[in-house]
Chain A
Amino acid sequence: EVQLVESGGGLVQPGGSLRLSCAASGFKFGSFWMSWVRQAPGKGLEWVANIKQDGSLEYYVDSVKGRFTISRDNAKNSLHLQMNSLRVEDTARYYCARDSYTGYGSLEYWGQGTLVTVSS
């Protein structure tokens, strides 16, 4: 059974940093692109970033470029999102999702998300 479990969310002040993690199990982690998707309270889904199987290629939504970094550890079946210079508008539930073989396709499995609140 595929499982994705996010952790690392919490309350942080504007300008602060947070590192999210996603523990993956039940599939060959290194065979898939992985994504982060966020959802602000009461709002829609926003794709944040994804990373290629070997970590050699990453894509980001414009609003987080230069502030967020996605990374992965295939030996530990884990995905991370380093979030720096956090803004109030980054407040959201952050979901880890198994992307496709190509990075352009289906987000077939999702975790339950971890809540990030940016507030003073």
Chain B
Amino acid sequence: QSVLTQPPSASGTPGQRVTVSCSGSSSNIGSNFVYWYQQLPGTAPKVLIYRNDQRPSGVPDRFSGSKSGTSASLAISGLRSEDEADYYCAAWDDSLDGRVFGGGTRLTVL
């Protein structure tokens, strides 16, 4: 059972907008930044969003992040087949004194 809760799966058709939720608590999301990672099949994870809503250079603006209270969301607009991947949220947890990940959401592009 992960400290951060994500839906195990999500799906959409090309061009659609999909969102992935991440629910935590006051000791992690509620008091620290949220990060999102994308893991394409057979590859290492890559940071997609940092500090709640910032995109590293090279990440398309189709990807956006937001945070409210103890929850966060990743939105992907203009869905493309190459977006098919596993997505993980992460945050530091002040009570555990460690970094925690969500269980991951597998995105399928139909």
A residues adjacent to B (C-beta < 8 A)? 35, 37, 44-47, 50, 59-62, 95, 104-108, 110-113
B93-108 interface code vs A (CB 8 A; 1 in, 0 out): 0001111111110000
Contact A105 B44 (CB under 8 A): no
Interface bits B61-94 vs A (CB < 8 Å: 1, else 0): 0000000000000000000000000101010100
Interface pair A45/B98, CB less than 8 Å apart: no
A113 cross-chain contacts in B, Cβ below 8 A:
44
Task: List 28 contacting pairs A-B, 8 Å CB cutoff, sorted by A.
Answer: A44-B2, A44-B88, A44-B102, A45-B37, A45-B45, A45-B88, A45-B101, A47-B99, A50-B99, A59-B97, A59-B98, A59-B99, A61-B98, A62-B98, A95-B44, A95-B45, A104-B32, A105-B33, A106-B35, A106-B50, A106-B51, A106-B56, A107-B47, A108-B50, A110-B44, A110-B46, A111-B44, A112-B44
Count of residues in B whose CB is under 8 Å from the partner chain: 26
Contact among A47, A61, A108 with B90 in the assembled complex (CB-CB below 8 Å) = A47
A87 to chain B, nearest CB (A): 18
User: Judging by beta carbons under 8 Å apart, are B103 and A107 in contact?
Assistant: no
> Are A105 and B51 interface neighbours, CB within 8 A?
yes
- Chain A residue nearest in CB terms to B105: A44
Cα distance, A111 to B43, chains bound together (Å): 10
Chain A residues near B102: list those with CB within 8 A. 44
A56, chain B: closest CB distance, angstroms: 15
Chain B contacts of A62 at CB under 8 A? Answer: 96, 98
